[in-house]
Amino acid sequence: MTMPMDSKAPTQSHQGKGTINSVDAKAGKINLSHEPIPSLDWPGMTMDFDVQDKDSLTKLKPGQKVTFKLIEARKGKYVISEITVVK
């Protein structure tokens, strides 16, 4: 899929699901083992993510299952825009 750089389309978000391995609220980073994300054509993997809103990390702990939304902050760089603990 190709998209023009000046696309006026609203920022597309991608929905993911995973388990928290570690949280660095100060740095605004979280390490997740996430399930495949078909809309990005990503396989399941363990990786670090930057989080837009650092405060959203303060209540998160390793072992929790979460759903999250990813947006492309800049080309090829995906950050979490929303993260929610699954009960």
The binding site for Cu ion (CB under 5 A) comprises 45, 47
Minimum CB separation of residue 51 from Cu ion in Å reads 14
Question: What does each C-alpha distance from 39 to 24, 68, 70, 76 come to in angstroms?
Answer: 27, 13, 11, 14
Distance CA 75, CA 83 (A): 21
Taking the least distance from each CB to Cu ion, the nearer of 34 and 87 is 34
Taking the least distance from each CB to Cu ion, the nearer of 7 and 79 is 79
Strands (E), the chain: 13-24, 29-34, 45-51, 65-74, 77-85
Minimum CB separation of residue 70 from Cu ion in Å reads 9
Minimum CB separation of residue 8 from Cu ion in Å reads 28
Taking the least distance from each CB to Cu ion, the nearer of 35 and 54 is 35
